[in-house]
Amino acid sequence: MEQTMIITNNPKVNEKYHDSKTVKFLEGTYLDVLLAARNIVHKGGVLLTHPLSSSLKPNETPYKSLLVAQNKEEVDLKSIDLIENSIATAQKFGSHPKEMAIKKREDYKLIDLDLFDHVMDKI
């Protein structure tokens, strides 16, 4: 049976979905979310959302939320290729600035939540 999991470092996504979905909440970076997704994909998981969705580059936002399916019997080569290329892209861009105004952080949390809500509405 296919189960889905949300991997996120966005407290707003965690807060909204933790009661109704399996959420892996990370106190980490955008790249940490991608690396956690890679670990699941290499164990047979399938990416259900694109790791580099939106017009925001990985170095522009500190928050990312992904949806993955778990418990697949076969390794999904498309998901492996996608997550590995996304990690390489995120590393190329570097990380977001450590110092960011609280207001700006809240804006990025809302953007990520809004993007994720649109995906969840379609599933």
**Reported pTM:** 0.91
Q: How far apart are CA 67 and CA 52, in angstroms?
A: 12
Q: Are 79 and 39 in contact (CB under 8 A)?
A: no
Distance CA 123, CA 111 (A): 19
Q: What does residue 27 show for φ and ψ, rounded to 5 degrees?
A: -90, 65
Write the pLDDT tens digit of every residue in 57-111.
Answer: 888 889 999 999 987 778 899 999 999 999 999 999 876 666 677 788 899 999 9
Convert 27-44 into a string of H (helix), E (strand) and C (coil): CCCHHHHHHHHHHHHCCC
Rounded-to-integer distance, Cα 122 and Cα 109, Å: 20
Question: What pLDDT score was predicted for residue 2?
Answer: 66
Give pLDDT, residue 98: 65
pLDDT tens string 105-121: 899 999 999 999 999 99
* Higher pLDDT, residue 123 or 72: 123
Query: Are the CB atoms for 10 and 107 separated by under 8 Å?
Result: no
Domain ranges of the chain: 3-122
Per-residue confidence (pLDDT) for residue 1, from 0 to 100 = 46
